[in-house]
Amino acid sequence: MMKNLKETVAFLRSRGIDDAEVGIVLGTGLGNLVTKIKVIKELSYNVIPHFPIATVEFHFGKLIYGELGGKKVLALQGRYHYYEGYTMEQIVFPVRVMKMLGVKYILLSNAAGAINPDMKKGSLMLLDDHINLQPDNPLRGPNYDDLGPRFPDMSAPYDPSLNAKIKEIAKAKEIDLNEGVYVSVMGPNLETRAEYRFLRIIGADAVGMSTVPEVIACNHMGVPCAAISVLTDECDPDNLKPVDIQDIIETAGKAEVFLTALLEELVATYG
Ligand code: HPA
């Protein structure tokens, strides 16, 4: 794995990708931020050595290097999910590459279902904490001591100063930003009514199928990270309607304007 990482990093450096300051991972239906990036280099995942081929059709699977808010950023448009059959090590490979390319912090986004009844469809939720219900962990197996410790601390998985800045920007821009606990499940099916009740009881505010593996890898490497969910549906177990994936993607697209504004300002003003 370390050898592959080094080869990928050497390849990207040889393509001129060598001084990114911020890493960005864009979730399902949330690729629009890249339209704000002044692109220097764009590479399809399938030309990057050791990057798994992206499968989900609405994920573009592109690595974009360019300028946003006066900073050099490295953005991943399209991420890997465990339900697609990738290993956890494959899923976190891109964030490890970002770290080795020198990014100072990593921002992640995702689409999630709102479990907290006070959180409305179409609003955003800043992750304050998470619960990992994925059936596997990216740090399972021999520890890569060059990357981080065997038993990484998770007492503050989302960087407090990044989160403070995000809240400040949301307030100034009057963006509806909730804050809460994200639970990551494997999927790909959505949850049953009993499962939504269970997730609420154990303390989750929103549920999705991603992000936590990457956040674990970031914490392992000591890379500050922050994550924002776009809440695409309301998961009320007593009034549950069949979920329409097209509707989820459409809602993600509408709320994305706010996510884009938030991240753009953050990159311009932080660090
Ligand atoms: N459950 C899991 N993942 C999701 C949901 C949901 O309700 N909505 C968007 N992603």
**Model confidence pLDDT, tens digit, residues 138-159:** 999 999 999 999 999 999 999 9
What pLDDT, on a 0 to 100 scale, did the predictor assign at position 258? Answer: 95
How far apart (Å, rounded) are the C-alpha atoms in residues 238 and 236? 5
The Cα–Cα gap between 213 and 192 comes to 23
Mutate to test the pocket of ligand 1, among 190, 192, 197, 228 (most ligand atoms within 8 A of CB): 190
Q: How far apart are CA 246 and CA 252, in angstroms?
A: 10
Q: Where are the alpha helices (DSSP H) in 70-157?
A: 88-100
Using alpha carbons, select from 86, 119, 89, 74 the residue that is nearest to residue 255. Answer: 119
Neighbours of 271 (CB within 10 A): 14
72 contacts: CB under 8 Å, gap ≥ 6: 19, 20, 21, 22, 40, 65, 66
CA end-to-end distance (rounded Å), the chain: 30
Residue 188 preceded by cis peptide, ω within 30: yes
Residue with CA nearest ligand 1 atom 2 = 208
Residue nearest to atom 3 of ligand 1 (CA): 208
The reported pTM is 0.95
- Residues of the chain below pLDDT 70: 54-60
Q: Which residues line ligand 1 (CB under 6 A)?
A: 111-113, 190-191, 207-209, 232-233, 235, 248
Predicted confidence at residue 56, as pLDDT, reads 55
* Domains defined along the chain, listed by start: 2-269 (3.40.50.1580)
Q: What's the CA-to-centroid distance between 225 and ligand 1, angstroms? A: 22
Q: For residue 241, what pLDDT is reported?
A: 87
**What does the pLDDT read at residue 58?**
43
